[in-house]
Amino acid sequence: MTVDGRTALTGIVGYPVSHSLSPLMHNAAFGELGLNMVYLPFSVAPEALPQGVAGLAALGVRGFNVTIPHKVAILPLLHEITPEARAIGAVNTVLNRDGLLTGYNTDGIGLLRALEGEFGFYPAGRSVLLLGAGGAARSAVAALSLAGAARVVVANRTKERGEELVASVAPHLPGTLLQSAPFTLLSDAGFLSGFDLLVNTTSVGMGGSAFGDLALTGLPPHAAIYDMVYAPLETPLMEQGRGVGLPVANGIGMLVAQGEAAFTIWTGQQPPAGCMKRAVLEGIGAATLDIVRQSK
Ligand code: NAP
Query: Which atom of ligand 1 lies nearest, measured to the CA of 183?
Result: 20
Q: Are 103 and 93 in contact (CB under 8 A)?
A: yes
CATH number for the domain whose boundaries are 8-105+254-295: 3.40.50.10860
Residue nearest to atom 36 of ligand 1 (CA): 228
Nearest-CA residue for ligand 1 atom 41 is 251
User: What is the number of the ligand 1 atom nearest to the C-alpha of 111?
Assistant: 40
Give CATH for domain 113-250: 3.40.50.720
pTM: 0.93
Tally the residues of the chain.
296
Q: What is the pLDDT of residue 87?
A: 87
Q: Domain boundaries in the chain?
A: 8-105+254-295, 113-250
β pairing state of 197-200 and 177-182 = unpaired
Q: With 0-12 CB in 10 A as exposed, 13-18 as middle and 19+ as buried, what is 143? A: buried
Instruction: Provide the mean pLDDT of the chain.
Output: 94
pLDDT at 1: 72
Q: How many Å from the N-terminal Cα to the C-terminal Cα in the chain?
A: 35
What's the average pLDDT block by block, 10 residues per block, for the chain (296 residues)? 94 95 97 98 98 97 96 96 91 97 97 98 98 94 96 97 94 94 96 98 92 95 97 94 97 97 98 96 75 48
71 in active site:
yes
Pairing of strands 224-227, 8-14: unpaired
Please give the distance, rounded to the nearest whole angstrom, from the Cα atom of residue 48 to the centre of ligand 1: 25
Q: Report whether 226 contacts 197 (CB < 8 A).
A: yes
Atom in ligand 1 nearest the alpha carbon of residue 138: 26
- Comparing C-alpha atoms, which of 175, 177, 88 is closest to residue 140? 88
Collapsing DSSP to helix, strand or coil, 69 comes out as coil
Please write the tens of the pLDDT for every residue from 100-145.
999 999 999 999 999 999 999 999 999 999 999 988 999 999 999 9
- Classify residue 270 by its DSSP letter: P
Beta-carbon contacts of residue 261 (< 8 Å; ≥ 6 apart): 93, 104, 106, 109, 110, 113
Please give the pLDDT value at position 115.
98
| Sequence-separated (6 or more) residues with CB below 8 Å from residue 63 | 10, 93, 94, 95, 96, 262, 265, 266
> ∠ CA(204), CA(131), CA(92), 5° rounding?
80
CA–centroid distance, 246 to ligand 1, in Å, is 23
Please, are residues 129 and 281 in contact by the beta-carbon 8 Å criterion?
no
Question: Given this model, what pLDDT does residue 295 score?
Answer: 44
In this chain, the answer to whether the domains covering 8-105+254-295 and 113-250 adopt an identical fold is yes
| Ligand 1 pocket at CB < 6 A | 107, 110, 132-137, 156-158, 161, 201-204, 206, 228-230, 251, 254-255, 258
